[in-house]
Structure 1
Amino acid sequence: MTQEYERQVSDGATIAIIDDDDDLRGTMTALLRENGFTPLPFRDADGYRQLDTPPKLDLALIDLNLAGESGLELAMEIRERVGIPIVMLTGWGTETDRIEGLEIGADDYLMKPFNPRELLARLKAVLRRSGWKTPTPDRSNHQIEAFGTMTLDLTRRELLASDGGEIPLTNGEYRLLEYLVRNRDRIIPRVELLRELGSDLSTYVDRTIDVLILRLRRKIETVPSKPIYLQTRRGQGYIFVTTSRSEP
């Protein structure tokens, strides 16, 4: 049995990660584990095939360009034998690669480098479509900030809708929203927000923040053009208005 095989105790879906990039595989393994999944990392197809007792898998995350072999062939093998969802990764991203991946039955396709939060959102979406019921985590000890019908879980770094479903955010969107929520009712200049994000103040001061604000409004406001929570103070910056002051 491969030394990398380690089944973690978790209520989340079990996801095989087959990628020959040691650093990326380690990063993805840690990311999935931190977010409640059970990751099973393998450097190559042989590592997966040599398991004494193949585990029950819910999804396979496969690098299209494995060293010395085809990720597509492994995907077809897993699909035929196990019938689980497949998400392909590639550093090339050619149209032919994408079409081939989808033709063999891949459920999604993600190009490297990718945003960690996008990867999580894609995996969760594929699992939901396949019928996986994501367990409801115990949030009793989590740091929670609520506004309107939404909840920002600062412990799990998730934005939740009224039904408990996650509203996907990019890393930049989440960091900006968290900072705004932690500083409710205070007008925050763009320069301060940009500094919090760690961006180049001289180059991106207007564009970066404006784009992130626009994206956030589309996700948290009922009418993005008439924001209730994330408001602009012209010439001063932005303010996150608390629920008590924004709603009757």
Structure 2
Amino acid sequence: MSANREHLLIVDDDKEIRHLLTDYLEQADYRVTAVGDGKAMRRVLEANRIDLVILDLMLPGEDGLTLCRELRSKTNLPVLMLTARGDEVDRIIGLEMGADDYLAKPFNPRELLARIKSIVRRAQALPPNMETDKAHSLRFAGWTLDVVTRNVTAADGLVVPLSGAEYRLLRVFLDHPQRVLAREQLLELANGREAILFDRSIDVLVGRLRKRLRDDSREPVLIKTVRGEGYVLAASVESEA
């Protein structure tokens, strides 16, 4: 086994599922910690470096959406949401709370493993079109993106953490300012050829990014909707090495 294995945290109140997933993922050369609720999750996060949280939606007490919102407000740690309900409304809500991906139960363990590998790989790497960019920060419309910490800072000093998906999408916009990008282009540039959750995923991510940047979704001035075409970042961008 590799000495630098990624550490996964499973949060699921079903003891049998925790054991099954732990055994399967450890065989795939991951380090795995599994707990049953939010309190235990926080204890693990305080004591360990975690690379990905696999979070069940239907938890007793604090549910998965509440915990996902909490994680996203404090960290950019990738989150894969699990749920027994698979309709599109649940998926949209999960993404709006900050989940990077979403998988409905019952699922094939191989699909879960593929999703985990994809999320971890994307979290550890810059988008393909950004690899040669040596800038440490990017300034736009009064905001500053720190490409090391992956946080954005407002003109008033407020620091806003971004999820992995939000960061990748913002980098695409900043790399192509004042240019209309179709949904398909945004998905391709942000995720490469990785799995696309569903057709509305890019709209949900744009909505999340607007909230982070205080851009009114009803009348956006920064990330504008171009009807029938896609989205455009209506700002100039300056880079600093």
Higher RCO (CA < 8 A, seq sep 6+): 2
Structure 1 length as normaliser, TM-score?
Answer: 0.47
Q: Who wins on radius of gyration, i.e. which is larger?
A: 1
Structure 2 length as normaliser, TM-score?
Answer: 0.49
